[in-house]
Structure 1
Amino acid sequence: MSDGAHLSWHTPDDEQVAEAKDALRREVRARRGHVSPRCRDELAQRLAAVVLTIPQVAAAGCASVYASRPTEPGTGPLLDALAGRGVRLLLPVLGSGLQRDWAEYTGPDDLRERAPGRPPEPGGDALGAAALAQADVVLVPALSVDRAGVRLGQGGGWYDRVLEHARPDAPLVALLYADEVLDGLLPRSAHDRPVTHVATPEGWHAVADAS
């Protein structure tokens, strides 16, 4: 993004950090809201093509993905492509109180939006939070990612908690638009697990500083 791509935070105050993050979230959401449905569909196709060229994705027998919400970079074509390759797909299921869980993806007709604003979820049996450890690669949503791999999410902390169950060797791939990749640094909390790869409709790269 034109301004955010060069932002860097050095504020020690937690409240100010939270305000800065919220301001960036609002900026990204506003920009995404101006992307037309036709453009989103085209970008989703391009994003899928890019993600499939990541070697760890191409080799995965099981992957964790998610069903995108309308203004997010679309994952529909990616889900179709991975399922068509016979990859077992685990999608997030949000229980009461943001309870962490996963269910297997069996196709777009099985996806349901169980509450307004929540991403579509599979209707199959819940597999438990620890099922994420079965994934060879984990594809995660993001609003922004900085050059060290620190990810800005929606603010609920769901993925921050759930990634504790991912295998240490499983690549974490953030999916976003190219102008949401920051040159600067986002604040990083102790529980944050940086992503190892970033994928946009324009290409992908490994995060050298992720640790």
Structure 2
Amino acid sequence: MSDDLRKRQLRRDAIARRKTVTRQERDAAAAALAEHIVPLLDLVGVQAGTSGVMSAPHGRGHRPPTVAAYVSMGSEIPMRPLLSLLLDRGLRVLVPRLGSGLDVGWALLPDMASLHGVTCEGTGMAQRPDEPDTQTLGPAALGDADLIIVPALAVDAHGVRLGRGGGWYDRALTYRRGGVPVVAVCWPWECMADDLPRQSHDIPVDWVVTPQGAQRL
């Protein structure tokens, strides 16, 4: 089986398994995920159990540390509890902002109330994550991030991540600063014992976090 065919099969299998997860299991997973991210906040200069604004690491001045995360949708583990935790700790939080057409970028998330649903023209249906009503920033805004949290359908022991196939995060991650850790979020059964297919443009992640805990890769 070719790498492309194997990736498609892995995606189908992952989505089929996710559809068996109950709402109660999703809610419990969301709460556990937020707890497991707390120790990783040390990587961006925020100590577990503290709140408020702190200086950014790596000589980035006196602005709050910045975390680039995402707003979940569909079968993904709900991210709102984690986003709320990040905001409560005084972090700057960036989330994807697709804008119009194929434009992609980031937006500052000032608070949870600013998130709103986005419907695709002609369908009246939400086909992308909620977005904040703030300025759309370009792809280079990811260079401000001190920690990057991305979704995954599977991750192997080498940090190879399986996404949904659009390659958006692989392109986005080219803008991160050197040494900034990337954390993939997935379900426990999506941590693969076997190697995933890897292509030249794939950017490995440094950590994987599931509702059962965090693991450095």
Partner of 1:113: 117
The one-letter code matched in structure 1 to 2:11 is R
Does 1:83 pair with 2:87? yes
Does 1:65 pair with 2:52? no
State whether residues 146 and 184 of structure 1, in contact with CA within 8 Å, keep that contact through their aligned partners in structure 2. yes
Cα displacement (A) at 1:95: 3.6
Taking structure 1 as the reference length, what is the TM-score of the superposition? 0.87
Partner of 2:205: 195
Q: Which moved more, 1:96-105 or 1:26-35?
A: 96-105
Q: Which moved more, 1:53-62 or 1:139-148?
A: 53-62
Cα displacement (A) at 1:112: 2.2
Task: Specify which of 36, 42, 46 is matched with residue 22 of structure 2.
Answer: 36
1:16-46 CA distances to partner (integer Å, 9 max, x unpaired)? 2111101111111111111111110111000
State whether residues 160 and 192 of structure 1, in contact with CA within 8 Å, keep that contact through their aligned partners in structure 2. yes
Cα displacement (A) at 1:120: 1.3
SS in 2 for 1:53: helix
Cα displacement (A) at 1:123: 1.6
Partner of 1:46: 32
Alignment of 1:83-102 (within 5 A): 83-96=87-100, 98-102=102-106
Cα displacement (A) at 1:107: 2.0
The one-letter code matched in structure 1 to 2:68 is S
SS in 2 for 1:52: helix
Q: Distance in 1 between matches of 2:147 and 2:109?
A: 15
Task: Specify which of 165, 168, 171 is matched with residue 178 of structure 2.
Answer: 168
The one-letter code matched in structure 2 to 1:56 is L
Cα displacement (A) at 1:99: 2.7
The one-letter code matched in structure 2 to 1:148 is H
The ranges of structure 1 where at least 4 consecutive aligned residues each deviate by more than 6 angstroms after the TM superposition are: none
SS in 1 for 2:17: helix
Does 1:137 pair with 2:147? yes
1:130-174 CA distances to partner (integer Å, 9 max, x unpaired)? 110101000000000011100000111111111111111110000
Q: Distance in 1 between matches of 2:100 and 2:155?
A: 28
Structure 1 unpaired stretches of 5+: 1-10
Taking structure 2 as the reference length, what is the TM-score of the superposition? 0.84
Does 1:206 pair with 2:193? no
1:71-97 CA distances to partner (integer Å, 9 max, x unpaired)? 101111100001001100000011445
SS in 2 for 1:126: coil
Cα displacement (A) at 1:98: 3.6
The one-letter code matched in structure 2 to 1:170 is V
Q: Distance in 2 between matches of 1:19 and 1:82?
A: 38
The one-letter code matched in structure 1 to 2:162 is L
Task: Specify which of 152, 155, 172 is matched with residue 162 of structure 2.
Answer: 152
Report the aligned-residue RMSD. Answer: 1.4
The one-letter code matched in structure 2 to 1:111 is L
Structure 2 unpaired stretches of 5+: 47-55, 57-64, 120-125
